[in-house]
Amino acid sequence: MIRFYWLLSFFVLVTASFAQTDDAATIQKIYNEALQNGQSYENLRFLTKEIGARLSGSPQAAAAVEWGRQVMDTLGLDRVYLQEVMVPHWVRGAREQGRILSQRSGAGQEVNLCALGNSIGTGPAGVVGEVVEVHGLEELDALGRAQLAGKIVFFNRPFDPALVNTFEAYGGAVDQRGGGASAAAQYGAVGVVVRSMTTRLDDVPHTGSLRYAADVPKIPAVAISTNDADRLSRQLTLEPDLKFYFETHCQMLDDVLSYNVIGEIKGTQFPNEVILVGGHLDSWDLGEGAHDDGAGCVQAMEVLRILKSLGIKPKHTIRAVLFMNEENGLRGGRKYAEVAQANREKHLVAIESDRGGFTPRGFETNASPAQLKRMQGWVTLLAPYGLHEMIAGGGGADIGPLEAQGTVLMEYLPDPQRYFDYHHTNIDTFEAVNRRELELGAAAMASLVYLLDRHGLGKAK
């Protein structure tokens, strides 16, 4: 009996060793294909330079949908289709203006700002008022209507520079952008100025979405560059009664029909079980949406291309989804989850790339501890390619609605230090993306998809 168990253990070890060797060889082929024959960079060039910014509801977003469908049609996939979704249509209008107005000197200083997404406009008269600087929404409650009515609230909480993970710093500051307008409006404020969401001190304003509360008057809101935020703060110290003026011409139009773009390779053994990779096709209107999130879209499509090129026949269905309207509504992600539930589709894992096309570091996931431990066992295969992180966390915004259906969510983690230099700005252009970093990211995602498809996650415990 002892000899039998010894032989059985030896057989298991040998089998595992052969599997690891086979996996290592396949992952090497995946990286060779991505780095020698990759199409993600050229696809990104076309998306950004020929189509450009792709705010949901815009003609450019419609062009991007057709582009995504055509690109996936060339890959020889088993199915490529569009999924209808109604999306908001916000337009920025004429260029914004902003000035610091000194009551003492009578001089006006121009500042760099932009309207926040979904904001109402001021109209040609603009908004002018004294400025009240705060560093958090909770400060509004202490100030109250007596000190805020008729004023412009200036939210000036910066990113925490001590946080190595810049996404954690973003999470600690972004509430003032998302909820600041309604929080200030309930105390009678007439406008909101928000410090841009970035780690860098520069003259570039960062837009981003705000959310109006249903039971509070809507007031216009803008983001101001970090250099100008610091300048405004300093001048308020010297001149507490100075005024600020800004003018915007944005408006929300009627919803527009758009689409998620979907392509898939059918599984040979489990065609009804899906492993999803995706990014969001829409972008803000200021730049070209290269890092956010053109990079994620071309990487998701490249995963399918690599598998097809290498003749890898997955056991499960591998699906790439280019989601529409992540930036100012999340309509595409919600619609996708709604349809998946109605069709009783089983999504094993959903992986999102929405952190830019920078150097790969690894992945995070909401998987159970047992499942995470299983994936951490793959790090020895991935570490030679710079992928050292397999950590507990969450997934991206578009795949979030799938969590309620029992889907394991994962997010691709590139190096985070430069992302918020470009996030939601006019400098998020094709030239800001490094070709090799982008291709390495596609290879990282394809390698993880291969391992998930071949070995599975096991049962949650």
344: left (phi over 0), alpha (psi -120 to 50) or beta: left
| 159 located within any domain | yes
Residues 36 and 133 placed together within one structural domain of the fold = no
Is residue 84 annotated as part of the catalytic site, yes or no? no
Q: Are residues 385 and 448 in the same domain?
A: yes
CATH code where residue 237 lies: 3.50.30.30
Does residue 11 belong to any structural domain of this protein?
Answer: no
The yes-or-no verdict on residue 126 having pLDDT over 80 is yes
pLDDT at 10 over 50: no
Pair (363, 420) in one structural domain: yes
CATH assignment of the domain containing 264: 3.40.630.10
pLDDT of residue 106: 67
Question: What percentage of the chain reaches a pLDDT higher than 70?
Answer: 95
Q: Is the pLDDT of residue 296 over 50?
A: yes
**Count of domains observed in the chain:** 2
Instruction: Give the per-residue pLDDT at 3.
Output: 56
Q: 196, 224, 249: which is the final residue of a domain?
A: 249
Asked whether residue 367 falls in the same domain as residue 293, the answer is: yes
Average pLDDT over residues 424-433: 98
Same domain membership, residue 179 and residue 49 = no
Domain shared by 348 and 438, yes or no:
yes
One domain, residues 334 and 191: no
pLDDT at residue 460, rounded to an integer? 77
- 164 shares a domain with 270: no
Which residues make Cβ contacts (< 8 Å) with residue 172, sequence separation at least 6?
Answer: 159, 160, 163
Assess whether 119 and 181 both reside in one domain: yes
Its sign, for the CA torsion 249, 253, 256, 261, is positive
Last residue of a domain, one of 204, 224, 249: 249
Residue 265, amino acid: I
Residue 81 has pLDDT above 60, yes or no: yes
Q: Provide the 8-state DSSP code for 243.
A: E
- Among 214, 221, 156, 159, residue whose Cα is nearest residue 184: 221
Q: Which domain range does residue 134 map to?
A: 94-249
- Active-site entry in 326, 327, 345, 439: 326
User: Do 110 and 43 share a domain, yes or no?
Assistant: no
Of the residues 249, 264, 289, the one at which a domain ends: 249
